[in-house]
Structure 1
Amino acid sequence: MVDDYSFTVDLNKPIIFQVGHLREAYYEWVHQPIIDKECPRFFANDFFELLTRTAWWVVPVVWLPVASWFISMSSRMGLADHPDQLVLTVVSGIFVWTLVEYILHRFLFHMKTRSYWRNTIHYAIHGYHHKYPKDAMRLVMPPPAAAALSVPFWLLFKVLSPPSVAPALFGGAVLGYIAYDLTHYYPHHGKPSKKSTLKLKRYHLNHHFRIQSKGFGVTSSLWDYVFGTVPSTKAAEKKQN
């Protein structure tokens, strides 16, 4: 068995199956960012490694047609006769996504782990982004992972909504997801020039480099205000874990 306290990650080797050995030291290690443009390989296998890399433009190319198709499905099922209801449903889906985004970011992406497999899974879904926040090719979610995550939400919408409403509601949520991934990319790699975009960049990078336990909203800080996770603006406040 690897000694939890003496193990050191070798950044020159594929990393994904190493980080679990950090055990209780993992949470502190993963929140000590390394400002390189690319993080170490996840896998030795080239095919699996390719699946971990996604350019930002892939998100709208893949998911805008999906959102359009689901919205058009509701339109064909009768909502075309009620355009105001169709628009309201899509907007509601976008709004629902902002809550989903907050919940996933706070409770899944920032869960505290200490076992080998939980550390490994956490690193694969979000930990790598905090360790290497400047890696542009591992910032947005790869389509296969996003598709797998979308299935339970689609099934939930089908159960909770009328048949003609569920597709447009889900399509709106997909639009919200697109906005999330592109908005998330911008603070890390965009060059904001307006007050609003500068504020967005500061808000999100504050989450990365100063206080990772707050500031979970990316497309909107609404739910941070609702649930009391807005970070303090005091410059002297120390980073919390």
Structure 2
Amino acid sequence: MVAEKFNVDLNKPLAFQVGHLGEGYQEWVHQPIVSKEGPRLFENDIMEFLTRTKWWVIPLVWLPVVSWSLVMAIRMGISLTQAALLVMVGMLIWTLLEYSLHRFIFHMNTKNYWSNTMHYLLHGCHHKHPMDSLRLVFPPAAAAIICIPFWGLIRLLSTPIATPAIFAGGLLGYVIYDCTHYYLHHGSPSNQPARYLKRYHVSHHFRIQNKGFGITSSLWDFVFGTLPPALKIQKSS
């Protein structure tokens, strides 16, 4: 099927349509539709339900896991001071993971049917419908998949006694990230740094979509040279 001749019907479930766009998918998905009403992705009601998550589910599900990990670390002999420092290390690691996932996975270029479909379900639907409030945060099942290799990586690079505290920091960083992401889309911050972050993220969605991959911080965009040009000027002045 020729991509230019395929038209997506927004009144039908989108998940298995967008793949047919082929090489035209990237252009289509980065032309946002600004509406608070999100599209239907699947015909099946259960699959459709699993794609929708309210923002408060994230802290409700994951903050107990953060607490449990900290308690585990302290019971293993970590002092409160050491635990606090390791949590900060974990949060810093998360900011790099946040940047890396967003830049290299969520914004990968896709062309064929299945890669377009997977990209759309992973992140493309968010760029196409950026104000869809029920698809702004990761469903817990998807986040759990990332947690498993994240725990393994920390365990490989640190000591067994430090692993739970660093993991707690990384997971806390994720909770802050997802809640911040929701707020940047639907909140109206009047104070810094939230006001700057909202302008920064709006620029990523509506101005330069291949720059500004940080959500909770522009640190790694600065380090790796992916700051939006106008923000480079403003930050240096």
Q: 2:167 aligns with which of 167, 170, 186?
A: 170
1:237 corresponds in structure 2 to none
Q: Secondary structure at the match of 2:15?
A: coil
2:136 corresponds in structure 1 to 139
Please give the alpha-carbon distance, in whole angstroms, between the structure 2 residues aligned to 1:7 and 1:174. 41
Normalised TM-score (structure 2): 0.95
Give the percent of matched residue pairs that are identical in Structure 1 and Structure 2.
Answer: 60
2:120 corresponds in structure 1 to 123
Q: How do 1:50-61 residues align onto structure 2 when only pairs under 5 Å count?
A: 50-61=49-60
1:25 corresponds in structure 2 to 24
Matched length? 231
Offset at residue 36 of structure 1 (A):
1.2
1:40 is aligned with what amino acid?
Answer: P
Normalised TM-score (structure 1): 0.94
1:179 corresponds in structure 2 to 176
1:193 corresponds in structure 2 to 190
Cα deviation digits, residues 140-186 of structure 1 (max 9, x gap): 00000000111111111112211110111111000000010011111
2:222 matched to 1:225?
yes
2:66 matched to 1:72?
no
1:119 is aligned with what amino acid?
Answer: N
CA contact (8 A) 2:62 2:171 kept: yes
Please give the alpha-carbon distance, in whole angstroms, between the structure 1 residues aligned to 2:162 and 2:188. 39
2:151 corresponds in structure 1 to 154
1:9 corresponds in structure 2 to 8
2:22 is aligned with what amino acid?
Answer: R
CA contact (8 A) 2:197 2:217 kept: no
Q: Secondary structure at the match of 1:104?
A: helix
2:212 corresponds in structure 1 to 215
Cα deviation digits, residues 185-241 of structure 1 (max 9, x gap): 11110011224322111110000000001000100100000000010118xxxxxxx
Offset at residue 18 of structure 1 (A):
0.6
- Flag structure 2 segments of 5+ consecutive residues without an equivalent: 232-237
- Flag structure 1 segments of 5+ consecutive residues without an equivalent: 235-241
Offset at residue 86 of structure 1 (A):
1.1
